Chain A
Amino acid sequence: MTRPAEALPTQEMLINMGPQHPSTHGVLRVLLRTDGEVVVNARPDVGYLHRALEKIGERVTYAQFMPFTDRLDYLASMNCNCAYAWAVEKLAGIEVPERAEYIRVIVSELNRISSHLIAFGSFTADMGAFTPFLYSIRERERVNDLFEDLCGNRLTYNFARIGGVSADLPPGFLEKTKEFLDYFEPKIDEYNKLISYNKIFVHRLAKVAVITAEDAIAYGLTGPNLRGSGVRFDLRRDEPYSVYPKLDFDVCVGSGERGALGDCFDRYMVRINEMRESVKILRQAIAQIPEGPVAAKVPRVFKPPVGEAYFRSECPRGETGFYLISDGTGNPSRLKIRTGSFVTMNIFEKVTVGLMIADIVAVIGSFDIILPEIDR
């Protein structure tokens, strides 16, 4: 006769979702202990991409560190560049000309769109729908073309400088950006029709890894992950920097429209809606951008006054914070980088208890982590 399930001896499996895996968005190792298909414990093991950026920061000058911030989050390279530049300017009290600030906002928002496109594409590819990834790459190619026009690079731009940006916009750039925005905005609705509300897709994500608002704040989640749990907090609105006070946009929050508030689907929809908001911001910035210089006069041997400053900015993956300590010399005394993905991994172990292995992939994708940010 049948025995009750508890009497059957079972053994947990220790599976290594190794550093090389198509879905871990980089070299992330997750040690899964599963009871069949159900995960009992999932412990992330990071550090495979540690390149000692903070130590390097102490050996190079402030200006020389800019290319390293590209590699901090290579999909949102402009955002990291600008975040570092703003942090140093806060430390030294440098005033940035307005045109430079507008240019920084324009490239940051364009990069936010392209970063969210990759997040959307790779997430759907992980879920098994391979096609949207190629559509988002097609859109991203146009953004890459714009950036290539601007600074010559397609991925790691090294565009911002302390005090401004490295070069002015080439002629025709704003018109081409406007063309791109007109082309791109209806695409978001197309993606929603194609995949976002597809029944299978929704069922894969609804009610998976629900994070409450209190948990999200306590565990340090930031960016779309925090807003997916319903917390209406966006650094561009609540701690405004640069020219964001002059721009009008909505803060997208998850609404629990399919499943529970704070599940994977909410975080995914926040990113889709943020792309729309970025388009709005871009249109306003293009309309408002003034003429003027694109860089402030910063001494060649740049020595900020003794002091400490912490500046955080809204990057596509959360908030990127730079804690800079200056001892009066040309090199930073301490350069601490606080990235959204690193702190998001705090909650990973807690949220994956009881999920199935297929859901782990969904969780990693919905957090939109990227390993260079985690490991620095």
Chain B
Amino acid sequence: MTEIVLKTEGLSKSFGGLRAVDDVDFELPAGGLHAIIGPNGAGKTTFFNLVTGLLAPDSGRVSFFGRDITGMKPHRINRLGLARTLQIKSVFDGLSVYDNVWVAAHSHLGFLHPLRPVTSYRATASKVEALLDRLGLQGCRDELAGNLSYGDVALLEIAIALATEPKLLLLDEPVAGMSPTETRNTVQLVKELSKSVNIILIEHDMEVVFDAADVITVMNQGAILCRGTPAQIAKDKRVQEAYLGVSEEARC
């Protein structure tokens, strides 16, 4: 039996009268690239927020490798090996690209030395170099993150998330706003990453999802609609209805 990376039971969160995430039972076995899709407002990002501790659930439980992480602070969850990117790209604007990755690579170690220079940490430095190489960010390593193009910010955010050495990586629309070339490269990268890290991907670009994902979960109105391989999902009537609305013929 494969290991269960992430599991939620009866996970719910309401905003006022809106049940943004409604009694979600979700299980992620180890290995492979998992995608969550669904129309706008389906509750995908709220689901990520509940899992990573940015929001506390109204009810239900989240466990990570069998450990209950419900209601834990984000930094503690991250130290257990769960990293994510945000839908609205989130980096440290006033720091250089290098420092952005450096602080992430170092922070989960726990102790922050108050006097030793950042430049004296050899192991961290080589880790940062490797990540900058991998994400293709060497060219802008000394730029302030706030000056980067949108596509580079998205890549930097992935580098930051990877620097914390996650066992599970949640990517929230990583290719939104990227050029076609950037998108192609990023999808290739995410596919490669998924060989070594468990990944859950939220994505609106259906081409990307059906190309990259091994398993797809469809959410609609806060609940899980169905789950299956890309081929199964593509044929599923309920999914088509959720996305496209009821077909013309049916409506007439």
A binds B: no
Binding site for A on B (CB under 8 A): none
